[in-house]
A = this chain, B = another copy of it.
């Protein structure tokens, strides 16, 4: 099948399929006489794997590792689990950071009347005029 149908089936844009090929994440596609790329169910399977990994937030480098582990019948499930838990830790870190931002902002927003007057603890907090929380 052509790249368009492969894209539709996997949810990976044609643009990205070509990109994944260019960076070696998927092998060079077969070509028809027209020079159009030609995909089979094996390719679709691999692209689907990549898309699901992307949806779970894995980076391209991590996906490269996952693909290697997928194709390695000798590897132990501990290898996969270790990679996954490392990624979970990255997610936890990001979530924690965003949560801290949210908390700070919510605190500032709570202190802001949000009315027609100009006085605003949010702006004051950003301006760093150290009007602090207690005033």
Contacts and interface: CB of A to CB of B under 8 A. Distances in A.
Interface of A: 45, 48-49, 52-53, 55-57, 66, 69-70, 73-78, 80-82, 84-85, 87-88, 91-92, 94-95, 98-99, 101-102, 104-106, 108-109, 112-120, 122-123, 125-128
Given A109-B85, A126-B70, A91 B80 contact: no
A101 B126 CA distance: 32
Contacts of A117: 76-77
B105 A91 contact: yes
A48 B106 CA distance: 20
Contacts of A118: 73-77
Contacts of A45: 127-128
Contacts of A109: 81, 84-85, 88
A117 to B, nearest CB: 6
- Would you call the interface of chain A mostly helix, strand, loop, or mixed? helix
A93 B109 CA distance: 18
A105 B95 CA distance: 14
9 closest A-B pairs by CB: A81-B114, A77-B120, A76-B116, A57-B101, A91-B102, A78-B114, A80-B120, A81-B112, A80-B122
A102 B92 contact: yes
A120 B70 CA distance: 9
